[in-house]
Amino acid sequence: PTKLLSLSFKTGPPFKSLRRPSRLAPPRMDSSISPVRRKDKILVLMGATGTGKSSLSIDLATLFPSEIINSDKMQVYNGLDITTNKISIPDRCNVPHHLLGEIDPEEGEFIPSNFRSLAGFYISGIVSRGKLPLIVGGSNSFIHALVVDQFNADEDVFSTGWNSKSISTEFRYNCCFIWVDVSFPVLCDYLAKRVDEMLDLGMFEELAEFYNPGRVKTPTETGLRKAIGVPEFDRYFSKYPPMMEQRDDDWEWCRMRREAYEETVRAIKENTYQLVKRQLRKIERLRVAGWDLQRVDATEAFREVLFTSSMNKKQKMRPENQKNKKSGRWIEIWDKDVLQPTVKIVKHFLEE
């Protein structure tokens, strides 16, 4: 992409440092000493939901030959692509993605220890192909499970209180952690808009199809049933089932249904803000524990996206007249504040 030409530094071939060192050690006198294996390098893009991690990962993959492993615990499942906000196939720009919609939700909950094994398996494959594994997604429990040297599946290191556990800084990979951050109020404004856009894209219809009136609810739902949007719309559909005969001539009924719908959308937005708060708390815990998270601030780029979209709305621009998503002032700010600093960090990491 032409925007990448704007990078003010050279992006020479950074890949040789990705290759595994030869396993053949020089001959030694003491044959009992085994060759020391250097840890594989991985890049972890973390941050709250909606901060632009997926878009950044594609930008990076066009510069550094990489493959992406999804670390969003809802996006690992097959189904509900709009509701869980999976990156679309055209937007993936042919970059290989792993663990994105790969797990059958009927096969039970995909837990952090499953992620540790399967993502670990994919990392080995990616490294053997001479590429950089990019771990991209907001589920900090998955990221923690994947990278720590000693993982105990029975321990919730993020629980708070008197028995809260310390978080290890001993890693089984050579990790570069990039934290994409957006200030909380700006991110909430953006997420409210994103929920409206997801509804325009067909989230309601997707959830109507997913709704199963005959299903017996369990006290604690698992897997994809926990995705934000599912429990909220399940409540709505229990009153207004998708197949219900519409009573369009009953004004009062229409008003109540409209109110119930609006309340559902409000709940989805509120639960998304709560998710952001929880994710940020976990990131803070990792940082305090000593994880070297390199923060890049995307707040200004997001402010510009919000400003542009409110101007477009005011001018009632038709979609075909609107500027391409990947153009405009916000992309310049994104390049300057997010992409360029990230590329610099990654280059430095690969050359180490």
The secondary element (H helix, E strand) that includes residue 263 is: helix 251-289
Q: CB–CB of 128/108 below 8 Å?
A: no
CB of 286 to ligand ATP, least distance (A): 11
Among 228, 265, 298, 338, binds ligand ATP (CB under 6 A): 228
Q: What are the angstrom distances between the C-alpha of 305 and each of 38, 88, 341, 342?
A: 42, 20, 20, 20
CB of 151 to ligand ATP, least distance (A): 14
Which range touches ligand ATP (CB under 6 A), out of 89-97, 123-131, 169-177, 222-230? 222-230
- Among residues 176 and 286, whose Cβ is nearest to ligand ATP? 286
Measure the N-to-C terminal CA separation of the chain; round to a whole number of Å.
27
Q: Which two tokens stand for residue 200?
A: 């325009």
Between 184-201 and 299-314, two packed helices, what is the crossing angle to 10 degrees? 50
Among 226, 235, 266, 313, binds ligand ATP (CB under 6 A): 226
Which range touches ligand ATP (CB under 6 A), out of 70-78, 123-131, 205-213, 308-316? 70-78
Among 279, 283, 339, 343, binds ligand ATP (CB under 6 A): 279
Residue 138 contacts ligand ATP per CB under 6 A: yes
Residue 53 contacts ligand ATP per CB under 6 A: no
What's phi and psi for 125, nearest 5 deg?
Answer: -65, -45
C-alpha closest to that of 213 among 189, 245, 237: 237
Q: How many helices (H) and strands (E) does the chain have?
A: 10, 6
Q: Taking the mean position of all CA atoms in its chain, how far away is CA 236?
A: 27
Residue 84 contacts ligand ATP per CB under 6 A: yes
Q: Which of residues 282-301 bind ligand ATP (CB under 6 A)?
A: 282
DSSP 3-state assignment of 297? Answer: strand
Residue 269 contacts ligand ATP per CB under 6 A: no
Among 17, 114, 141, 294, binds ligand ATP (CB under 6 A): 141
Strands of 97-98's sheet in order across:
97-98, 66-70, 132-136, 41-46, 174-181, 293-297
Binding to ligand ATP by CB under 6 A, coded x per residue (else -) over 162-201, reads ----------------------------------------
Among 18, 132, 180, 227, binds ligand ATP (CB under 6 A): 227
Among 51, 54, 70, 75, binds ligand ATP (CB under 6 A): 75
By the 10 Å C-beta count (0-12 exposed, 13-18 middle, 19+ buried), 300 is classed as middle
Which range touches ligand ATP (CB under 6 A), out of 38-46, 73-81, 165-173, 184-192? 73-81
Binding to ligand ATP by CB under 6 A, coded x per residue (else -) over 150-169, reads --------x-----------
Residue 57 contacts ligand ATP per CB under 6 A: no
Provide the β-strand partners of residue 133: 67
Between 203-210 and 230-239, two packed helices, what is the crossing angle to 10 degrees? 70
- Among residues 41 and 86, whose Cβ is nearest to ligand ATP? 86
DSSP 3-state assignment of 31? Answer: coil
Among 66, 70, 140, 264, binds ligand ATP (CB under 6 A): 140
Cβ neighbours, 10 Å, residue 39: 12
Residue 111 contacts ligand ATP per CB under 6 A: no
- Among residues 158 and 273, whose Cβ is nearest to ligand ATP? 158
Binding site for ligand ATP (CB under 6 A): 49, 72-75, 84-85, 138-141, 158, 226-228, 275, 278-279, 282
